[in-house]
Amino acid sequence: MIVYLLILVVTLWFVFFQIKRRRMKKLASLIPGPKEELPLIGVAHYFLGNTEDIMKSLQHFSYATMNQGIMRGWLGHILYFLLLDPVDLEMVLKTCMEKDDLHRFIRNVIGNGGIFAPVSIWRRRRKILLPAFSPKIVETFVEVFSEQAEKLGNVLTKAAGKGQFSLWPYLSSYTLDSVCETAMGVKMGAQENPDSPFLSRMNTLLNVVCERIFHLWLQPDWIFNLFPQSTVQKDCIDVLYGFTDEVIKKKRIELRDEKTSKPEADTHYLLDDYRRKSFLDLLISLSGGERGYNNVELREEVLTLTVAGTDTSAVAIGNTLKLLAKYPKIQERLYDEVNGIFGDSDRPLDKEDLNNLKYLERVVKESLRLFPPVPFIIRKVLTDTKLPSGNILPGGSGVVISIWGIHRDPKYWGPDAENFDPDRFLPERYSIKNSCSFMPFSSGPRNCLGYQYALMSIKAAITGVVRKYRIVGEEETSPAPSMRVKLDIMMKAVDGYQMALEKRC
- Could you give the CA distance from residue 200 to residue 236 in angstroms, rounded to a whole number? 9
Distances (CA, A) of 111 to 69, 104, 485: 34, 9, 28
| Residue 483 falls inside a structural domain | yes
Burial class (CB in 10 A: 0-12, 13-18, 19+), 200: middle
Three-class secondary structure of residue 379 per DSSP: strand
Q: What is the pLDDT of residue 224?
A: 92
Spatial CB neighbours of 117, under 8 Å, sequence gap ≥ 6: 99, 107, 125
Rounded Cα gap, residues 279 and 133, in angstroms = 9
Q: How far apart are CA 442 and CA 46, in angstroms?
A: 26
Per-residue pLDDT of the chain (505 residues; tens, 9 = 90+): 676 666 766 655 555 555 657 888 899 889 999 888 888 888 888 888 888 999 999 999 999 999 999 999 998 888 999 999 999 999 999 999 999 888 888 888 888 888 888 999 999 889 888 888 888 899 999 999 999 999 999 999 988 889 999 999 999 999 999 999 999 988 888 898 877 888 888 889 888 988 888 787 888 899 999 999 999 999 999 999 999 999 999 989 888 887 777 655 444 444 444 456 889 999 998 888 778 899 999 999 999 988 888 889 999 999 999 999 999 999 999 999 999 999 888 899 999 999 999 999 999 999 999 999 999 999 999 999 999 999 999 999 999 999 999 999 999 999 999 999 999 999 999 988 898 999 999 999 999 988 999 999 999 999 999 999 999 999 999 999 999 999 988 899 999 999 999 999 7
Q: Would you say residue 177 lies in a domain?
A: yes
Write out the residue range of the structural domain in which residue 210 sits. 31-503
Check if the beta carbon of residue 79 is closer than 8 Å to that of residue 111: no
Left, alpha or beta for 69 (phi > 0: left; psi -120 to 50: alpha)? left
Q: What is the CATH number of the domain that holds 308?
A: 1.10.630.10
How far apart (Å, rounded) are the C-alpha atoms in residues 368 and 375?
10
- Give the whole-angstrom CA distance, residue 425 versus residue 431: 9
For helices 295-326 and 168-183, what crossing angle results, to 10°? 140
Residues in the chain: 505
Q: What is the pLDDT of residue 309?
A: 87
DSSP H helices, 119-196, are 119-132, 135-139, 142-155, 168-183
E strands, 338-403, where? Answer: 376-380, 385-386, 392-393, 398-402
Q: What is the sign of the dihedral through the CA atoms of 344, 349, 355 and 360? A: positive
Residue 230: predicted pLDDT: 93
Residue 274 has what pLDDT? 47
Domain membership of residue 11 (yes or no) is: no
> CB atoms < 10 A from the CB of 17, how many?
10
- For residue 457, what is the enclosing H or E element? helix 451-468
User: CA 53 to CA 331: how far, in whole Å?
Assistant: 31
Q: How far apart are CA 98 and CA 120, in angstroms?
A: 9
Please report whether residue 13 resides in a domain. Answer: no
The neighbouring-strand residues paired with 471 are 501
Distance CA 360, CA 380 (A): 36
pLDDT of amino acid 212: 87
In the 3-class helix/strand/coil scheme, how is 289-350 assigned residue by residue? Answer: HHHCCCHHHHHHHHHHHHHHHHHHHHHHHHHHHHHHHHCHHHHHHHHHHHHHHHCCCCCCCC
- Number of structural domains, the chain? 1
Q: What integer pLDDT is reported at residue 269 of this predicted model?
A: 46
Which amino acid appears at position 423 of this protein?
A: D
> Are residues 86 and 412 in contact, defined by beta-carbon separation less than 8 angstroms?
yes
The pLDDT of residue 78? 87
The pLDDT value recorded for residue 268 is: 47
CA-derived radius of gyration, the chain: 24
Q: At what angle do helices 295-326 and 328-342 cross, to 10 degrees?
A: 110
Evaluate whether 82 touches 402 at the Cβ level (below 8 Å).
yes
